[in-house]
Chain A
Amino acid sequence: MNQITVFSAKNILTMDAARPNATHVAVKDGKILSVGGADCADQWGDVVHDDSLKDTVLMPGLVEGHAHMMAGAMWRYAYAGYHDRIDPTGKIWTGMTDIDAVVTGLSEYASKLEPNEPLVGWGFDPIFLRTERLSRKHLDEISPERPIAIIFSNFHLMCVNSKALEMAGYSRESNGEGIIMGPDGEPTGELQEMAAMFPIMRRLGIDFRGLSQTPDSIRSYGDVCKRAGVTTVTDLYSSMEEEDLATMLAVTGEGDFPLRIVPALGTAGANPAEMAQFARHLRKSSTDKLRLGAVKLMTDGSIQGWTARVRWPGYVGGQANGLWNTAPDQIYELCEEMQKQGVQMHIHVNGDEAAAVSLDAMEQAARTHPWPGARHVLQHCQMMDRGLYERAAELGACTNIFSNHIWFFGDQHAELTLGADRAARMNAARTALDTGVKIAIHSDAPVTSMGPLFTAWCAVNRQTMSGETLGPEECITVQEALHTITMGAAYTLKLDTEIGSIEPGKIADFAVLGQDPTAVDPMALKDVPILGTVAGGKVHLL
């Protein structure tokens, strides 16, 4: 057992300021024994040299501070998104950039299904296909017999074919909300919101709960993360119940499971005191690979759905201010109770009004129940400005910024939601770092694809899909970006003494890369090949 293995690499980017670069790292009992040259562990006794990674570049295992377990299990359905995406097995799914491509791609997928087995797709986003609306007529071309449902990437809409409409009893007679009718008086196939989607989901066997807590889903999440170089990931709105705990513990406890999962329990609607107690109760079951005890608060909606709560001057199209998912009074109550019971909070804030209210609530809680090490984390922070970041810094709160939005939705934000000026200020990583607040950056997978190096690329270059640079003043350096996807994110999870850098005493979690991200053109950061990970000293190459 207690063997010392010394891995060699072309370069090791340690993210440890005390020794930024090295060529060798010694591992014992799954932990980092020492870092340096080939002889770095010689004084500790006999060593075994492992040169299998000698042509690679090692970084600390990457940390994704905001993602969802569904990111793995969604792949049981057909991908129908606009952008290329890689599934847990490594297969590249080519993006479907027009409706013909959607029909052709899904027809091919359908040919591999059992006769009349439902075809369920996900990831479709009409914001990128503005010429024509997807309708049942398109999906009937794939099959008139087989029920088909394509879930849109925001999970608020779907489009279904005639067979699926028939199964749910939807017709020109239907007068419920959310069943969209065409000029001919017949349903177009588009269904809006759960109240209209649910009858279809029920009949096609689509159950989001099954996408999180099953052994397959958990393993699949491990595969998705491994492909992104991620060794520690969150599940940031866990609906875990007592009976799910055993499954999570069993799967994450398997010797070759390559991932550390940090779930945060969703708090919607529940009694704050009881929820805090449940989080504390779960915390006692934590293991190295499953870190329990945090909670997630939802406050507002999304900016591109015009449901985020924004301050003056509001939305550029004059849309009404968004919606609270949790009332400000409840946000205060939750912050107070979590702070009182010592439970770390991850607080979803897209709009700046939501961020301001959350900071007010955190400040009040901090006055009543001082807790210097709370490290509550504002999540998304898309519209936070200098003033709000200053307040976060004063409170010792962390901010996890949604940098992927710049590329995926930046053009839409400039044109349709916030207007050009405020869009250029979105996801302001530069301002955040300058105010001294601790930051991470994230993908929110499966909302956008998991890949911290891609997220870092977004924060460094701030390029949109149309090739614009959105707010160059808010760009951060490659070094800063690499820090946020390792030490930065680890700090937000209170794991920065255990992971996030390659230094003695920490867990031997590495990302194995094909190139040195500090040596490539910053525009090529997203293309640095991920070869696999090392988790607790165990090598997991792709």
Chain B
Amino acid sequence: MKRLPLTVIGGYLGAGKTTLINRLLTEDHGKRLMVMVNDFGAVNIDASLIKAKGVDTIELTNGCVCCTMGADLFMAVGDVLDRPKWPDHLIIEASGIGDPARIANVSRNEPELSYAGIVTVVDGENFEDLLGDVQIAPQLASQVAVADLVVVSKVAQIRTSLRHRLEATGAARMMTAEAEFSQLLWDIQGEVPDRSHAHAHFAQWSEEVPGFFSRDQITALLKSRPSGLYRVKGFVRLLEGMAEVQVVGKSVEITLCKYEGTAVLVGIGPQAQFDMQAIKTWWEGA
């Protein structure tokens, strides 16, 4: 069955969610995106990319942006799935105080959606101060804790104190907003990495998977992978049959399937954080 990948972008007011979205909409990645945002006015897209502008949608040459609010968000997702033609990828901006997982969870439950990660944006300059505000700190901390990828904005490098603070809050993978990251959102195409589309900023890994696993074994193995390996997909043999593997950040999904090919896993991660030796050691220890 065809599934529409969903990525949710979380982060507090002013963290830089919209800047990130604007960038995704302008980059040349060859995907048709559908982006649902809170504040329509804040989306600032080069006029040359705009095909048509309506009251609550902007049609772009590479997708569209629409404005949704609160409780109707899920219904709007339903409308997208009911369309005869889907976009390649759905991106939803969570509200500033909202829990991005509350939205992203739908992609683990709805058979026509697939989970494509939670990206939480934090302001590299003031996030530590915000965590000192008792009124909002618990909700901001949980935005970081549920994130598969934390994007730190407004700084060229992540300060050590902030890095430690984010790690203590549950961030497993982080990068600055200046770094290339969009490839991490997209589903890995094909069963083996396509070298022709290899991107200088991203590294790939692939291995055949011999033998049989229990569900718990393979889940534990994938959860203990080196953090540079952001996405992993492929097939493994479980005792009860072949299973599809979908790994995005902290999320590991193992689903029984009818597949008769080779058991193989492929992975991708940001070049700067990709430690092939660590990956090799991890895999050989499996």
Contacts and interface: CB of A to CB of B under 8 A. Distances in A.
Interface stretch (B57-65, B73-81, B180-188): B73-81
Contacts of B101: 177
A202 B55 contact: no
Interface string B98-130: 010111111011110000000000000000000
A209 interface: yes
Interface residues of A, number: 43
Interface centre among B13, B77, B104, B109 (most CB of A within 10 A): B109
Nearest to B104: A195
B47 interface: no
Interface in A241-291: 242, 266, 268-271, 274
Interface stretch (B25-33, B131-139, B191-199, B276-284): B131-139
Given A173-B256, A176-B108, A178-B109, A194 B74 contact: yes
A20 B62 CA distance: 68
A38 interface: no
Contacts of B72: 208-209, 239
Contacts of B78: 198, 201-202, 207
Contact of B69 (A174, A207, A270): A270
A108 B81 CA distance: 35
Contacts of A330: 13, 96-97
A324 interface: yes
B253 A175 contact: yes
A168 B108 CA distance: 12
B71 interface: yes
A324 B136 contact: yes
B39 A327 contact: no
Nearest to A270: B69
A86 to B, nearest CB: 27
Given A198-B78, A327-B136, A169 B105 contact: no
A465 B134 CA distance: 36
B106 A198 contact: yes
Given A328-B135, A328-B136, A194 B39 contact: no
A193 B102 contact: yes
Nearest to B243: A173
B97 A326 contact: yes
A268 B105 contact: no
Contacts of A523: none
A242 B138 contact: no
**Chain B interface bracket (under 10, 10 to 19, 20 to 34, 35 or more):** 35 or more
A195 B109 CA distance: 7
B22 interface: no
Contacts of A209: 72, 75
Nearest to A167: B111
A266 B75 CA distance: 16
A393 interface: no
B159 to A, nearest CB: 23
B210 interface: no
Interface string B230-261: 00000000000000000000000101100000
Interface string A167-193: 011100111111100000000000001
A323 interface: yes
B75 A329 contact: no
Contacts of B75: 207-209
B38 to A, nearest CB: 4
B70 A327 contact: no
B41 interface: yes
B109 A327 contact: no
Interface in A76-111: none
Nearest to B103: A195
A270 B81 contact: no
Contacts of A325: 97
Interface in A190-215: 193-196, 198-199, 201-202, 207-209
A146 to B, nearest CB: 21
A357 interface: yes
B169 interface: no
Given A198-B74, A268-B70, A270-B69, A177 B97 contact: no
Contacts of A198: 74, 77-78, 106, 109-110
Contact of A208 (B39, B71, B108, B138): B71
Nearest to A321: B138
Contact of B105 (A170, A173, A193, A242): A193
Nearest to B254: A175
A89 to B, nearest CB: 28
A324 B108 contact: no
B222 to A, nearest CB: 13
A329 B97 CA distance: 10
B109 A176 contact: yes
A320 interface: yes
A357 B135 contact: yes
B202 interface: no
Nearest to B133: A328
Contacts of A242: 55
Contact of A323 (B111, B139, B255): B139
A271 B96 CA distance: 12
A179 B109 contact: yes
Contacts of B12: 327
Nearest to A176: B108
A328 B109 CA distance: 32
B213 interface: no
Contacts of A193: 102, 105
Contacts of A173: 255-256
Given A269-B95, A327-B13, A202 B105 contact: no
Contacts of B74: 194-195, 198, 201
Contacts of A274: 40-41
B139 to A, nearest CB: 6
A177 B104 CA distance: 10
B286 interface: no
Contact of A170 (B38, B99, B109): B109
A29 to B, nearest CB: 39
Nearest to B55: A242
17 contacts: A169-B111, A175-B253, A177-B105, A179-B109, A195-B104, A198-B77, A208-B75, A239-B71, A239-B72, A268-B95, A274-B41, A320-B138, A323-B97, A324-B136, A327-B13, A327-B139, A330-B13
Given A170-B109, A176-B105, 10 more contacts: A173-B256, A174-B108, A174-B109, A194-B74, A209-B72, A239-B70, A266-B70, A268-B69, A268-B95, A271-B40
Nearest 10 A-B pairs (CB), nearest first? Answer: A176-B108, A195-B105, A269-B38, A268-B70, A327-B97, A176-B109, A195-B106, A177-B105, A169-B111, A199-B110
Interface of A: 168-170, 173-179, 193-196, 198-199, 201-202, 207-209, 239, 242, 266, 268-271, 274, 298, 309, 320-321, 323-330, 353, 357
